[in-house]
Amino acid sequence: MSHQTVIVLDFGGQYNQLIARRVREQGVYCEVRPYTTPVASLKALRPIGIIFTGGPGSVYDPAAPQADPELFRLGVPILGICYGCQLLAQNLGGRVAPAQGGAAREYGKTETFFDTDCRLFRGLPAGSATWMSHGDYMEKVPEGFRLTARSAACPNVAISDEARGFYGVQFHPEVNHTEHGAAIIRNFLYEVCGARGGWTMGDYKETAVRRLREKIGDGKVLLALSGGVDSSVAAALLAEAVGRQLTCVFVDHGLMRLREGDEVEAAFSGRDVRFIRVNAAERFLSRLSGVTEPESKRKIIGEEFIRVFEAEAKKIGRVDYLAQGTIYPDVIESGAGDAAVIKSHHNVGGLPGCVDFKEIVEPLRLLFKDEVRALGRELGLPEHLVSRQPFPGPGLAIRCVGEVTGEKLDMLRRADFIFRDEIARAGLAGSMDQYFAVLTNMRSVGVMGDGRTYDYALALRSVTTSDFMTADWARIPYEVLDRVSVRVVNEVPHINRVLYDITSKPPATIEYE
């Protein structure tokens, strides 16, 4: 099925793919491309619109990412967001400068006033809250543009040249804190770009299956299967595309939750795929011995995964491709282009420089978590598998702060099971998107059985989120937390304190390491 395309041009902001998510939520297909993509390549995609993302730089800095002037001559509508807005202004005859003395500099939630005659703000109230994050401002507006939004601190919050279809906003419509952000993006897509909508996960499935068949041909594929949502959906998609050319290898690295390895094997044993379980706990724990730095852990685990897969591929015979369930948040947080590295995911930034496969195949790389779940339903996967909460590839190694040992893993497994068990007993599992226990590296004094203890503190983490790019901490009833705490300190040796994490993302990440 042919569909319209919007290009999100990435200038290095950390959460730029949220823009892509918001576009897709409006039923319009989009692709994120780095700002260095040749204009001819972008033109070949026949986009109906282009969105310039935010970024950490200042447009007047010669080292900052710049836009090819040819973009403005394509005859395609452009929406610039934050840095993208300033880039638009600077390239078309305006001037951007540092905000002086706090004037025009804005961070956080800001009351903003709109010119609702502008197509971008049509149907919006005259004023509402937007989310700002800029230390520069448009000192001079380009000729042909008019001001279409303002705030108390900054008169130049939004600009538009409606004749050419060029729009710029200093705030971030893609984040939930901007009250009518979705409506602004929808207006750009439908009022400005003439989008028809109608793009669905059914479309994505058809396109992905066709592209996988074209890429793989008669080659053999080895899928790194964890049993989680992402790799399970990747397995179903690849099975539909190439059938028995696929082999799923589940590496039990000894870092799984209680009895989880057996559950994964049971879930896939009855399916029409070749399933191999590799018990490699001793190998992984040996490599992690003495390692405390989180990035080092992730990179060691990533490399060791690859080496195990390479060894299994040799046993199988000819294997051309390694497939993974990598999704967009993995790619973003691992750093791409000019974006900062938040943490290297074992299947992205944790990969070694050289792998013994023709190519790595990642059919879900452009999807967010909710899109992956929707695709899983399109592929006919059971709901209990599609709705399963995420579990990181490095497993409990990144929920065990500091050095990973067998003893600490046993403590964490038991405590994590108690937490999940009490959440299930309370009927709360469906009200939160991810919940787990973390064994901190902090030890503190306690009193148990009239004696002094000096043992570990356990942190409980639970969040609600729609995309895992941002998240809020879940409001678990006190009585449930109390039952978890009582059970943990009574049933798990060497834990004498239980804490509940009430930090959102950002500033924290969902996982601890």
Strand-strand pairing, 95-98 and 29-34: unpaired
Q: Is 82 assigned a catalytic role?
A: yes
Overall average pLDDT of the 426-430 stretch: 93
Residues 29 and 170 in one domain: yes
Residue 348's pLDDT is 43
Q: Which of 85, 154, 172, 180 is catalytic?
A: 172
Q: Confirm whether 509 is domain-assigned.
A: no
Is 172 in the active site?
yes
Of the candidates 199, 244, 229, 247, which has an alpha carbon nearest to the alpha carbon of residue 361?
247
User: Do residues 230 and 181 both lie within one domain?
Assistant: no
Are 106 and 162 contained in the same domain? yes
In the structure, what pLDDT confidence band is assigned to residue 352 with cuts at 50, 70 and 90? very low
CATH of the domain at 472: 3.30.300.10
Is 462 contained in some domain?
Answer: yes
Select the more confidently predicted residue: 354 or 14.
14
Q: What is the pLDDT of residues 468-503, one digit of tens each?
A: 778 899 999 999 999 999 999 999 999 999 999 999
Distance of CA 57 to the CA centre of its chain: 22
How far are the Cα atoms of 76, 307, 310, 440, 497 from residue 397, in angstroms, in the given order?
48, 18, 22, 12, 20
Same domain? 264 vs 360: yes
The single residue listed with the structure tokens 């823009």 is: 19
pLDDT score of 382: 85
Residue at which a domain ends, from 386, 413, 446 = 386
Nearest to 361 by CA among 495, 220, 465: 220
Confidence at 224, pLDDT banded by 50, 70, 90 = confident
* Residues 315, 228 share a domain: yes
Q: Is the pLDDT of residue 63 over 50?
A: yes
Supply the pLDDT for residue 337.
46
Which candidate in 30, 82, 85, 154 is catalytic?
82
Tally of domains within the chain:
3
Residue 96 is assigned to a structural domain of this protein:
yes
Q: Please check whether residues 379 and 406 belong to one and the same domain.
A: no
Same domain, 121 and 260: no
Claim to verify: residue 78 and residue 115 sit in the same structural domain: yes
CA distance 424 to 153: 49
Q: Are residues 46 and 183 located together in one domain of the fold?
A: yes
**288 located within any domain:** yes
- Residue 494 falls within a domain, yes or no? yes
- Position 120 scores a pLDDT of 97
What per-residue confidence (pLDDT) applies to 266?
82
Select which of 106, 174, 260, 304 is catalytic.
174
For the stretch 245-292, pLDDT in tens is 999 999 999 999 998 888 888 877 777 778 899 999 999 999 999 999
Q: Which residues contact 73 (CB under 8 A, 6 or more apart)?
A: none
CATH number at residue 332: 3.40.50.620
Predicted pLDDT at 105? 55
Whether 15 and 332 have beta carbons less than 8 Å apart is answered as yes
Please write the tens of the pLDDT for every residue from 293-313.
Answer: 999 999 999 899 889 988 888
Helix intervals (H) in 92-148: none
Q: Cβ neighbours of residue 196 under 8 Å, at least 6 residues apart? A: 4
> Is 214 within a domain?
yes
Listed in sequence order, the residues at least 6 apart from 306 whose beta carbon sits closer than 8 Å to its beta carbon are 322, 351, 352, 355
* Cβ-contact 322, 231 below 8 angstroms: no
Tell me the chain's radius of gyration from C-alpha atoms: 25
**Which pLDDT score is estimated for 56?**
83
Q: How far apart are CA 403 and CA 388, in angstroms?
A: 28
Q: Would you call 51 helix, strand, or coil by DSSP?
A: strand
> Measuring CA to CA, which residue among 397, 403, 394, 331 is closest to residue 360?
331
Residue 473's DSSP bridge partners are 463
The reply to whether 244 and 143 lie within a common domain is: no
CA dist., res. 243 & res. 236, Å (int): 9
Which residue blocks in 105-225 are alpha helix, DSSP H?
A: 181-186, 201-216
- Among the three residues 192, 215, 245, which one is the final residue of a domain in this structure? 192
* Length of the chain in terms of residues written: 513
Q: Using CB atoms within 10 Å of the CB of residue 339, give its burial: 0 to 12 exposed, 13 to 18 middle, 19+ buried.
A: buried
The answer on pLDDT for 158 being more than 90 is: yes
Q: Is the pLDDT of residue 439 over 80?
A: yes
| Between 287 and 203, residue with greater pLDDT | 287
Q: Does any domain span residue 437?
A: yes
Rounded alpha-carbon distances, angstroms, from residue 350 to 90, 229, 303, 331: 38, 20, 7, 11
Domain span at residue 175 reads 5-192
Write the CATH number for 48.
Answer: 3.40.50.880
SS (H, E, C) 300-365: HHHHHHHHHHHHHHHHHCCCCEEECCCCHHHHHHCCCCCCCCCCCCCCCCCCCCCCCCCEEECCCC
Q: Same structural domain for residues 377 and 418?
A: no
Strand partners, 249: 224, 276
Alpha carbons within 13 angstroms on the beta-carbon side of residue 477 total 11
* Percent of the chain whose predicted confidence (pLDDT) is above 70: 92
81-135 pLDDT tens trace: 999 999 999 999 998 887 765 555 556 688 899 999 999 999 999 999 998 876 6
Out of 321, 351, 386, pick the residue that ends a domain.
Answer: 386
Q: What is the pLDDT of residues 357-403, one digit of tens each?
A: 788 899 998 888 888 999 999 998 888 788 888 788 899 999 999 99
Looking at the fold, whether 456 and 359 belong to one and the same domain comes out as no
Q: 32 and 16 in contact (C-beta within 8 Å)? A: yes
Q: In this structure, is residue 506 part of a structural domain? A: no
Candidates 270, 356, 255; CA nearest to 313 is 356
